Each structure stands twice: as structure tokens, then as C-alpha cells.
Amino acid sequence: MYKQAQLLADAVRHLEFATTKFYEVPAYKDIAEELEAIKIKVYERMGLIKETEVKEEEIRDDGLIKAAQEEQEEVEEQPGNGKDPVIWITEKVGYLYDEEKDEFAIVRKDVIGYTTLKRLPRSTLMEIWEKLPERSTEFELRQVMNELGVRAKAFAQYIMRIFTHATFGGDLRIDGKKLILVKPEDFSIYEDLKNQLRAERELIDSGWGK
């Protein structure tokens, strides 16, 4: 079983390497995107095994695998009221918003709850969001993340789905074989309204609204 997992992890490393190299040549961007789609299917088939999703998340510009500093995984039980806070993207992987910490977490389903794979502050995601064009692919998302130094490229597919959360108001559409993230046309108005509601809530929480 261990040998099989190791072989699969090696295969995904080679797939990551090939995808990155094809992305570096604009004329082969379409091939890179097809490889990316295959990679995601492999991740889902493998149940996002730790070797590929966490320990070996990033790839250096020179193509060498760079072991990301592994975040300590936390197994969290679901709330006692039975309400699941996770928005499930696939059968095993989803995301949630932690209002207290003001961050989003990408999680994997476990027997008693879920395991945190990656945490991203809302402020970091907002910085990425504001730099994205009105319509963007995963390739463009990766470019922006690289510019900002955000080490989460292996989770780009899931971050695209986080941007459909009410915090951002994005929409996902399919154009041929590509998944397109679209910003709302009235995003500036939407953002102003959110900020106003947040300020009012903070005022009420502070006691001044009583």
C-alpha cells in the first residue's frame, strides 16, 4: 500500500513539473490547462493524499520540487448543533469561513469531522481578488498569487471557488474546457455595502448601538 502511494505521489510530481513547464511557454498554455484538469482529477481520485497536496505543494521556478513548510493539520469536530459550516466543493474537499479568525480554510473530510489543509486570511484573499482581471482563469490566478508571494498554488482550483463566497461575490462559468472566474459588474458598490454592514455590526458589538 505504501509503495503504491509513493508511486502515485511520484507520478503527480512529474505531472506538476510538466504542467509548470508548459505554462512557461505561451504557445502551449492550452496543453498546460488540460494537464491541470487531469491533475485535479488525479487529486480527487487519490483523495488528496498528503504527499501531493501538503508536503510538496510548491514548485520552484527552476522546476525543482520545493517542500512547503507544512502547516500542522488540525482535526476539528463539526458543531454540536449538527449544522455543517463547510461548503463542500467535492465529496471530500471544501472550505469554510472562520469569522473569529477572519480567515478561510480549505478542509478535507474525515471520520469525525474535517482536517485543515490550508488557511488563508481574508485580507490575503482580498488582495488577490483585487488584482485579478474581470474574467480570470486558474492560470491568471496563479500568476497573481506568484506576484504577491502567496504560497498556495496547489490549491488554486479551490481558491477560485472560495471567490464565489458572499465575501467576494464572484461567479464561475465554463468556457469550453476552461473554468472562468467572473467578478460582479457592480463589485465596488457591493464592496462599499459590505464595509458599511461590517462597520454597523462592529458598532453594535461594541455596545454603542445599544
* Residue 86 shares a structural domain with residue 151: yes
Please provide the average confidence, as pLDDT, over all residues in the chain: 73
Last residue of a domain, one of 66, 99, 115: 66
**Per-residue cell: 191:** 464592496
Domain final residue, candidates 34, 66, 98: 66
**Domain identity same for 15 and 82:** no
Q: Cα(108)–Cα(29) distance, rounded to whole angstroms?
A: 30
* Distance (Å, whole) CA 107 – CA 113: 10
Residue 19 has pLDDT above 90, yes or no: no
- Per residue in 158-188, pLDDT (tens digit) is 999 999 999 999 999 988 878 899 998 765 5
**Based on the structure, what is the number of domains in the chain?**
2
C-alpha cell at 97: 469561513
Q: State the pTM of this model.
A: 0.56
Helices 2-23/29-46 angle, 10° precision? 160
For residues 105 and 88, membership in a common domain is answered with yes
pLDDT at 163: 96
**Whether residue 164 sits in one domain with residue 88:** yes
146 and 89 within one domain: yes
Asked whether the predicted pLDDT for residue 124 surpasses 60, the reply is yes
For residue 36, give every residue at least 6 positions away whose Cβ sits within 8 Å of its Cβ, in sequence order, or none: 19, 138, 139, 157
The answer to whether residues 56 and 68 touch, using CB atoms and an 8 Å cutoff, is yes
Q: Does 203 map to a domain?
A: no
Q: Which of 52, 47, 154, 55 is CA-nearest to residue 110?
A: 47
For the stretch 54-98, pLDDT in tens is 333 333 333 323 333 333 344 454 444 456 789 998 888 899 999
Average pLDDT over residues 112-121: 87
> 168 and 120 share a domain?
yes
Is 141's pLDDT higher than 80?
Answer: yes
Distance, in Å, from the CA atom of 86 to the CA atom of 105, rounded to the nearest integer, reads 9
174 and 91, same domain (yes or no): yes
Q: Which residue range is the domain that position 80 belongs to?
A: 75-182
Predicted confidence band at 47 (pLDDT cuts at 50, 70, 90)?
low
Residue 87 counted as domain residue: yes
Determine, yes or no, domain membership for 210.
no
DSSP E strands in 8-112: the ranges are 58-59, 65-66, 75-77, 87-88, 93-98, 103-109
